[in-house]
Amino acid sequence: MGSSIYWTYSSAIIQKIVPDAYLGRMFSLDLAGFQLATVISTIVTGVATNGIHGDAVRPVVFATGLASLVPLLVWVLLLPRIDRWEAAESTPVVIQPMEEPIPV
């Protein structure tokens, strides 16, 4: 579930902020980072499972699940701030004309 959220948001953000000439490069870099994170997670889980000799896999699965929730929590906390920042950037600035000076 977390990887689907990552993939959707990262693709949308890349499409919004990267010039068209660089989209392919950015998507390939994004995919490479995603695959690297998957490989590292798989290796760490395998080493942890082998370290306990398969007797108590449940704690490894639980710890892996908790570790994967950390980036999700950070994202959930930062998303409203990012949305407010984008809304403030896209709000047009309206300059009000000065009132007529009061004659003295």
Report the domain count for the chain. Answer: 1
Residue-range definition of the domain harbouring residue 39: 2-73
Tens-place pLDDT, residues 3-50:
666 677 778 888 888 888 888 998 899 889 888 888 888 898 888 888
24, part of any domain: yes
* Domain presence at residue 26: yes
Residue of 32, 5, 27, 28 lying closest to 17 (CA atoms): 27
d(CA 12, CA 6): 10
Tell me, yes or no, whether 55 lies in a domain: yes
| For the chain, the helix, strand and coil percentages under 3-state DSSP, each to the nearest 5 | 80, 0, 20
Residue 18 domain-assigned (yes or no): yes
- Distances 103 to 73, 89, 96, 97, 98 between C-alpha atoms, Å: 60, 39, 21, 18, 14
11 belongs to a structural domain: yes
Q: What is the pLDDT of residue 93?
A: 60
pTM of the predicted model as reported, rounded to 2 decimal places: 0.58
Q: What is the pLDDT of residues 41-88, one digit of tens each?
A: 889 888 888 887 767 788 888 888 888 888 788 888 988 887 787 777
Whole-angstrom distance, CA of residue 64 vs CA of residue 38: 12
Residue 38 lies in a domain: yes
pLDDT at position 92, please? 64
More confident residue, 31 or 100: 31
Q: Is residue 34 part of a domain?
A: yes
Answer yes or no: is 69 within a domain.
yes
